[in-house]
């Protein structure tokens, strides 16, 4: 949840509507890479390590069909929500574009809709980490 006084607005510095993924990036999401990754339409969740500020690591659990990102910070460093929001804007805004380009919603489930809206993001406090 967002703390009071913060905003969930789009950051203009992210040119998301014109971004085109590379063939290598698309192949990764489709499971056609050398790393053995499964196609994203065959999974419900992605676990992504995220570096914030150059020296602090977080874990992002992306729920693809629910369109949400849970951010786990095991150390619980006192970083303002706005900093997290800015650092993770790429995930929130670029993932819908990637999913559209790999036809995720058509392959995953009938009735699941594609929207260019960003994913919802939740910060998980250290004492709630499983």
Domains contained in the chain, CATH given: 22-128 (3.30.310)
How far is the C-alpha of 22 from the C-alpha of 38, rounded, in Å? 18
pTM of the entire predicted model: 0.70
pLDDT at 81: 65
Express each pLDDT in 6-45 by its tens digit: 334 444 444 445 567 788 888 888 888 777 688 888 888 9
Given a contact cutoff of 8 angstroms between Cβ atoms, the answer to whether 84 and 125 are in contact is no
**Is the per-residue pLDDT at 79 higher than 70?**
no
Tell the burial category of 88 from Cβ atoms under 10 Å away from its Cβ (0-12, 13-18, 19+): buried
Q: Is residue 96's pLDDT more than 50?
A: yes
Angle (CA) 53 10 51, round 5°: 20
Residue 111 scores a pLDDT above 60: no
């Amino acid at each position: 949840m967002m703390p009071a006084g913060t905003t969930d607005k789009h950051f203009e510095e992210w040119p998301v509507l014109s971004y085109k993924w590379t063939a290598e990036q698309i192949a990764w999401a489709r499971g056609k890479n050398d790393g053995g990754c499964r196609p994203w339409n065959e999974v419900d969740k992605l676990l992504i390590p995220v570096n914030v500020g150059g020296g602090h690591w977080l874990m992002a659990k992306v729920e693809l069909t629910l369109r949400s990102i849970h951010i786990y910070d095991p150390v619980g460093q006192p970083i303002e929500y706005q900093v997290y929001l800015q650092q993770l804007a790429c995930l929130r805004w670029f993932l819908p574009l990637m999913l559209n380009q790999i036809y995720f919603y058509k392959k995953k489930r009938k009735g699941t809709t594609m929207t260019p809206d960003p994913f919802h993001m939740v910060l998980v406090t250290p004492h709630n980490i499983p």
